[in-house]
Structure 1
């Protein structure tokens, strides 16, 4: 177990809050330089190969964030802490730092994600409550996103047995506003997690990131009701890419809110009709899901030991269309480590976008 000093913990937060540093580049930098403090010191030289000097997040900004986090009654959870959720840690894109309120031990228990439509039908709301309540009684912790509709009802029905809420805002922001009381109950009776810094209002781009955490915490994701192209389907896809079970409740083909679930089932998600079906699928889950919905693995290589190794000329192979990192390694003829270093420098320069499934593209 790594014992962090206050100085190193602060440096880690500052490193992650620096422009163009995401979970993958954060881990690469930490692995390459050993400490966040050393990585911060090396950033200007590393990004300097692209021309412009690099400026990490300011100490004043991070100090203000830490103060807000403490005022909210929350604390930080780092990726190498023994309290970090074990299933979430398996993801290459797992958040290196989370803020939390509540009991982190809940995330070490068997978890199931329940997600669905915000404008859910009365029948779907009833099903969400029934499934969440029965699964909580069966010993599962219910994970969801505290959104309107299915999410909120799943949390309410599972509070007594254990529930985890993952929000797209900072830990001190309640969204939607009408769920402020529910969010407080989740924080006091269950576990509330946030990836965004305290004080951050929820933006559209934060929700897919939130969804990957929901999917990563659970051995399986159940979609109760969802329209095509909804956020719930993003969560299901991310669960499949993580090698987790994907389940859906079928609905009437005449109801647009059921089309997403029906499509999931057609594409390989497991059809479930009761909480017992879900429990049977997830009890003793060994990492070999029955669902075949868009499963895809992503692998990132380690950075080279030599800090002076020249980066591969990867930018010429990239377009705005996402491509797998493995394909870049094959086409460039470079080592995996050299390709990863080149991608890291492009990301620091704001020229690279990382996508689910280990794919990358040039920023538009």
Structure 2
């Protein structure tokens, strides 16, 4: 117990003593009922309690200072003192406030079963230990008032214990909800970091492939066609600059401090013509077609996901396929957005559901697996494998409704 608890219990014992003194004065004097005949009819004596009576009353309430440390000993001592006091001072009506508060403490600290047991003991003592000489006296009223105090103490203790348990459970649920929110926030941060890492991988692989192609072209043309070589080098510089800007925009959200993060809109399928130009610069005759695709209908996270898949597919095509022709097709039909990237290059077999190729035809990297995982996270289906007329084809189909948040 802390100092505050001791102060409270001292105040409780003091207030209980004052309450008992007040009732003793009311029933033993003519303060309230001043008519002598009526008081005699009720059997009430008209005598002022002596100092010894007040001391005896204090014995029934003083132990309440220890009520939370020793609830049962305090109750038994307080009840026994009350019964002895009431038995020996016939004609004076005492209140059972001390034992009642002790019963309340037992219910609050030990539970309803022990509280009911203490209440039964108190009621038996009130009914049978103290004799009732005159059934018409005011003592009858005081006796049943004391029984009512005991019952009220049991009910009040149970009510407070229930309330305290409810508050504790509510606080526990709130703490659990807060912990769950923190875990969910941490999970979303981790997912965002994984997504950023995937985007950085896609951007880097795509850009380095373009730089390698243009650098090789510049190397071949520098002696025969300096102007074309100069254009290839300019393309290398522009591609590198764009890639750096993209990477800064992706990882800018991870920065800490007062500087604002660098941001720019993430690319969507409206940049697919840029991928076609990228393939053409790599020596692949590429075409792009849209069939009913409406960007105003397709959610932004699906649109950006499709572009990321297309970028990775084009990067793999330049690095591994030796293709001469390629076709990019974007469609929206029946509430499903689909992307198809096909080429006439070297086949690689058919990928499994998780994007694993039988011969590791993506150069030992994770390009196909990354596309498959991205599609799965968006709630769609992914296919990758050799096409019937030769070459390699990937197809990602994502429903517009019921997809996971990105």
Confirm or deny a common fold (TM above 0.5). no
How high is the TM-score relative to the length of structure 1? Answer: 0.21
How high is the TM-score relative to the length of structure 2? Answer: 0.19
Structure with the bigger percentage of helix: 2
Q: Which has the higher contact order (CA 8 A, sep 6+)?
A: 1
